């Protein structure tokens, strides 16, 4: 049974990023349909998978992390224009029976991601 999970780490502070809103979209052609929204817990993880089982199908997806709100709330950014605000990560799911873990490592001036386990 496949599933999609994520977590957010604050690399500037060296700890999990709690309270980050994450939106998941299904991408099909020009269609960009929101299918889920979650918030990270104290461990920087969502309380459950973003998708699992029959809800995860092969195709293109996008996770949008509301990093700017988190950076402001954690005192790492002011009220003005941010270098990073919403961070989109678009990725493909070729095999819906696998586990796809898409983490975000964030700081005020950069981010990275990878396919985790």
Q: Which CATH number fits domain 3-113: 3.40.50.12780, 2.60.40.180, 3.40.640.10, 2.102.10.10?
A: 2.60.40.180
Residues 6+ apart with CB under 8 A from 21: 37, 38, 39, 65, 66, 69
pLDDT score, position 117: 85
**Six-digit token string for 5:** 């999970």
Tens digit of pLDDT for each residue in 26-82?
999 889 999 999 999 999 999 999 999 999 999 999 999 999 999 999 999 888 899
Q: Where are the domains of the chain?
A: 3-113
Average pLDDT over residues 84-110: 96
pLDDT score, position 40: 98
Q: For the chain, what is the mean pLDDT? A: 96
pLDDT score, position 88: 97
Cβ(93)–Cβ(58) under 8 Å?
A: yes
In sequence order, what E strands does the chain have? Answer: 3-5, 8-10, 15-16, 21-28, 31-39, 51-52, 59-66, 86-93, 99-101, 104-107, 110-113
pLDDT score, position 30: 87
Cβ(67)–Cβ(107) under 8 Å?
A: no
């Amino acid at each position: 049974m496949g599933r999609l999970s994520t977590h957010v780490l604050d690399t500037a502070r060296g700890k999990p990023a709690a309270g980050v809103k994450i939106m998941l979209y299904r991408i099909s052609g020009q269609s960009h349909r929101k299918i889920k929204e979650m918030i990270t817990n104290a461990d920087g993880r969502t309380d459950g998978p973003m998708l699992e089982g029959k809800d995860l199908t092969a195709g293109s997806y996008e996770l949008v992390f509301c990093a700017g709100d988190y950076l402001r709330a954690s005192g790492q950014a002011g009220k003005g224009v941010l270098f990073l605000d919403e961070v989109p990560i678009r990725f493909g799911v070729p095999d819906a029976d696998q586990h796809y873990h898409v983490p975000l490592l964030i700081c005020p001036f950069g981010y990275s991601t990878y396919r985790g386990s």
